[in-house]
């Protein structure tokens, strides 16, 4: 199953962690990384991927990181199903507030989640 996340086309993101980059006024090349350490990590990952012949559009992720991500996504999916059921019919404003609080609680684990490639 593929996951697509739509984003504003104008938002520039770090090539390593994919967090939004702040825009700098003035001339010069646009930033690709949020920090020097992320630039270095990306360089090292590209070098190692070349050594292992990993295609550019793929990466190696630890099973533990992948498992944690699946758990967090499952929790969010269950919360969405709960909210759909709770809001079926004629929900009140209080029902909407509870639903939003439930979704915020379930999605909180995903905030700041970064799955980094494993250095094989």
Question: Tens of pLDDT along 63-111?
Answer: 888 899 999 999 999 999 999 999 998 999 999 999 999 999 999 988 8
Which residues pair with residue 20 across a beta bridge?
13
What ranges do the domains of the chain cover?
A: 11-59, 61-120
- pTM: predicted TM-score of the whole model, two decimal places: 0.63
C-alpha to C-alpha distance for 109 and 87, rounded to whole angstroms: 23
Q: What is the pLDDT of residue 120?
A: 55
> d(Cα 48, Cα 73) in Å, to the nearest integer?
29
pLDDT at 53 over 80: yes
d(CA 81, CA 106): 12
Cα 42 to Cα 20, 29, 87, 89: the distances in Å are 16, 18, 44, 50
In this prediction, residue 117 carries a pLDDT of 67
d(CA 6, CA 42): 23
């Amino acid at each position: 199953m593929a996951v697509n996340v739509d984003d504003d086309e104008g938002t520039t993101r770090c090539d390593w962690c994919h967090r939004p980059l702040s825009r700098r006024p003035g001339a010069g090349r646009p930033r690709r990384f949020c920090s020097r350490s992320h630039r270095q990590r990306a360089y090292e990952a590209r070098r190692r991927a070349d050594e292992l012949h990993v295609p550019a559009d793929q990466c190696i992720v630890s099973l533990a990181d992948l498992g944690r991500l699946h758990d967090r996504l499952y929790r969010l999916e269950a919360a969405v199903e709960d909210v759909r059921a709770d809001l079926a019919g004629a929900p009140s404003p209080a029902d909407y507030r509870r639903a939003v609080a439930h979704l915020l609680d379930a999605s909180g684990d995903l905030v700041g989640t970064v799955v980094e490639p494993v250095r094989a």
